[in-house]
C-alpha cells in the first residue's frame, strides 16, 4: 500500500497575490511556453515557464519515491509532452517524469525519483526574458545516505539555510543556521618551536563564477553564454592560484544556479582573505569593449556603466530564481568602518589586477569603478568583480570563446593577486 505524505500546500503565484484566492481567480487558459531541467550534484531544478500565474500544489509519495505536482489553469500541450525526454541519465535525483491531464483544469506532473528528496516548490514573477515560472528544486534529504565531498555538503547546507531565510543578503547567517564549512587546513610544514616563527594561515581565495543554471548571464551576438565563459576562466584561475600556493574555493564548479547571498556566505564561512567574482560585460549596443574591474560602492555608483552593470548583475537572483522567505534585507546604514576599510583594500587589489589585465586586453577604463554590487558585500573580505571583456562586442565575444584568452585573463588576475599580497597592504590589515 502506498504511504501518502502530504507535505504540500496550495500556493499561489505572485508577490501581490493573496492566499485566499481560489483557483477561479486565475486565468484558465494559461500556456506552458517552456520547460527546463537543470540537474546538478547539489540540487536539480525543474522550471515550468507559463504565460500567466497559475496555482499549484505538490506532495511526495514513498515506495517508490515520487514527487507529484498538480498545476491548475493549464492544459497539456506539446511543450509539456516533451518534458519527459529532457530527463538526463546523469540526473542525481530524477529517474523519469510523467505528465498527464488530471482533470479539466489540472495537469499532473509525476517525478519518479532516484532517492528521497526535500522539495522546494515556488513561483517567480517575470524577469529578464522569462515569463511567470513555477520552480521545483529537489534537494537531497539528510537521510539520503549519499557521501558527498565535505565542501559540497557545506554548500548544500548553506543553500538549505538560504531557502529557509537564514542567510542574509550580506552573507551572514542567523543563529538557527546549522551550516559549518570546514576551515581549509594549512598544509605547509610547521615551523619548529625553537625559532618561534609565527605560523601564518594559508591565504584563502574564493573564486566566484557568475550566473549558472537558470541564469545564463549575458549572451553574445553569436550565442556564447556568459555563465559558460566565466566558469571556464574561473577554473583556469583556480588552477593558477593553486599552483602559486593559495588555498582556493569555487562558489560553483558546474552549471548550477547559486543565489548571490549564498556566494557571499560561502566566503564568510571560509573566512576568505579575498573574493573574486568573474563575469563578462554586456551592453545594449555592440560597440563598448575592454576589460574592467569593479569594487563595491556604499553610495552612488562612480559611473553609469558601473551602475548599469551592478543593476544587471544584481538581477541574477530574479533571473536565476530564489524563493522569497522572510526578511533578508540589510540596513545599508549599518555598513560601518569595517566595510570602509574593506572597500579601500578592494580598490588596491582591483588596481593591481587591472594593471595586470591591461597587458592582456584593452581596458575599458584606466581605473577601478564602483557600484552597489550585491555579491561584493561581505563587510570584512576585500572583494572585486572582474569583467573579462564585453561578450556583447562581436570581436571580444570571439576572444572570450578561445581558451588562449581565458588562460591569459586567469593568469593576469592571479598575477594581480600576487602583487597585492607582495605589496604588504593585506598584511598590514591583520
Sites of contact with Zn ion (CB under 5 A): 210, 217, 279
Task: Say how far apart CA 190 and CA 423 lie, in whole Å.
Answer: 25
Q: Which is nearer to Zn ion, 107 or 319 (CB)?
A: 319
Whether the CB-CB separation of 15 and 125 falls below 8 Å is answered with yes
Shortest Å, Cβ 304 to Zn ion: 17
Q: Which is nearer to Zn ion, 71 or 357 (CB)?
A: 357
| DSSP result, 381-401 | S-EEEEEEEETTSHHHHHHHT
Q: What's the CA angle centered on 200, arms 384 and 185, to 5 degrees?
A: 80
C-alpha cell at 135: 520552480
Whether the CB-CB separation of 271 and 204 falls below 8 Å is answered with yes
Shortest Å, Cβ 409 to Zn ion: 14
Q: Which is nearer to Zn ion, 93 or 373 (CB)?
A: 373
Q: Which is nearer to Zn ion, 66 or 227 (CB)?
A: 227
Q: Which is nearer to Zn ion, 170 or 215 (CB)?
A: 215
Q: Would strands 204-209 and 247-250 be described as parallel, antiparallel, or unpaired?
A: parallel
Buried-state track 149-188, b at ≥16 Cβ within 10 A, e below 16: eebebbbbbbbbbbbebbbbbbbbbeeebebebeebeeee
Shortest Å, Cβ 210 to Zn ion: 4
Shortest Å, Cβ 388 to Zn ion: 10
Q: Which is nearer to Zn ion, 203 or 391 (CB)?
A: 391
Shortest Å, Cβ 211 to Zn ion: 6
Shortest Å, Cβ 178 to Zn ion: 31
Nearest CA among 362, 345, 354, 360 for reference residue 404: 360
Task: Say how far apart CA 133 and CA 33 lie, in whole Å.
Answer: 10
Q: What's the CA angle centered on 134, arms 128 and 137, to 5 degrees?
A: 105
Shortest Å, Cβ 155 to Zn ion: 20
In the bound state, the residue with its beta carbon closest to Zn ion is 279
Q: Which is nearer to Zn ion, 210 or 379 (CB)?
A: 210
Shortest Å, Cβ 280 to Zn ion: 6
Nearest CA among 26, 251, 8 for reference residue 136: 8
Phi, then psi, of 204 in degrees rounded to 5 = -105, 125
Burial of 346 (0-12, 13-18, 19+ CB in 10 A): buried
Q: Which is nearer to Zn ion, 119 or 209 (CB)?
A: 209
Amino acid at each position: 500500500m502506498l504511504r501518502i505524505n502530504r507535505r504540500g500546500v496550495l500556493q499561489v503565484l505572485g508577490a501581490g497575490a493573496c492566499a485566499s484566492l481560489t483557483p477561479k481567480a486565475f486565468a484558465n487558459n494559461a500556456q506552458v511556453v517552456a520547460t527546463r531541467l537543470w540537474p546538478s550534484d547539489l540540487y536539480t531544478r525543474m522550471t515550468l515557464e507559463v504565460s500567466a500565474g497559475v496555482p499549484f500544489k505538490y506532495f511526495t509519495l514513498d515506495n517508490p519515491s515520487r514527487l507529484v505536482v498538480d498545476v491548475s489553469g493549464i492544459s497539456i500541450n506539446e511543450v509539456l509532452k516533451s518534458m519527459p525526454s529532457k530527463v538526463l541519465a546523469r540526473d542525481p535525483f530524477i529517474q523519469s517524469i510523467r505528465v498527464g491531464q488530471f482533470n479539466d483544469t489540472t495537469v499532473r506532473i509525476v517525478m519518479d525519483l532516484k532517492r528521497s528528496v526535500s522539495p522546494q516548490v515556488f513561483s517567480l514573477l517575470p524577469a529578464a526574458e522569462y515569463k511567470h515560472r513555477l520552480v521545483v528544486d529537489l534537494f537531497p534529504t539528510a537521510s539520503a545516505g549519499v557521501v558527498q565531498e565535505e565542501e559540497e555538503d557545506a554548500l548544500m547546507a548553506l543553500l538549505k539555510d538560504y531557502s529557509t531565510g537564514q542567510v542574509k543578503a550580506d552573507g551572514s547567517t542567523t543563529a538557527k543556521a546549522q551550516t559549518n564549512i570546514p576551515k581549509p587546513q594549512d598544509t605547509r610544514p610547521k615551523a619548529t618551536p625553537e625559532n618561534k616563527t609565527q605560523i601564518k594561515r594559508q591565504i584563502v581565495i574564493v573564486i566566484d563564477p557568475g550566473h549558472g543554471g537558470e541564469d545564463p548571464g549575458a549572451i553574445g551576438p553569436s550565442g556564447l553564454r556568459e555563465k559558460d565563459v566565466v566558469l571556464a576562466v574561473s577554473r583556469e584561475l583556480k588552477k593558477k592560484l593553486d599552483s602559486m600556493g593559495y588555498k582556493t574555493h569555487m562558489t560553483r564548479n558546474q552549471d548550477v544556479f547559486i543565489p548571490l547571498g549564498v556566494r557571499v556566505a560561502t566566503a564568510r564561512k571560509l573566512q576568505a582573505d579575498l573574493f573574486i567574482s568573474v563575469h563578462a560585460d554586456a551592453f545594449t549596443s555592440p560597440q563598448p569593449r575592454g576589460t574592467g574591474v569593479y569594487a563595491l560602492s556604499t553610495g552612488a555608483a562612480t559611473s553609469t556603466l558601473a551602475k548599469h552593470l551592478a543593476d544587471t548583475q544584481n538581477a541574477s537572483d530574479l533571473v536565476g530564481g530564489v524563493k522569497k522567505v522572510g526578511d533578508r534585507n540589510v540596513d545599508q546604514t549599518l555598513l560601518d568602518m569595517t566595510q570602509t576599510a574593506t572597500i579601500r583594500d578592494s580598490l588596491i587589489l582591483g588596481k593591481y589586477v587591472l594593471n595586470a589585465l591591461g597587458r592582456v586586453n584593452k581596458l575599458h577604463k584606466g581605473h577601478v569603478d564602483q557600484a552597489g554590487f550585491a555579491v561584493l558585500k561581505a563587510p570584512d573580505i576585500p572583494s572585486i568583480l572582474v569583467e573579462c571583456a564585453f561578450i556583447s562586442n562581436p570581436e571580444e565575444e570571439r576572444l572570450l570563446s578561445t581558451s588562449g584568452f581565458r588562460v591569459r585573463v586567469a593568469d593576469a588576475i592571479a598575477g594581480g593577486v600576487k602583487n597585492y599580497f607582495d605589496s604588504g597592504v593585506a598584511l598590514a590589515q591583520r
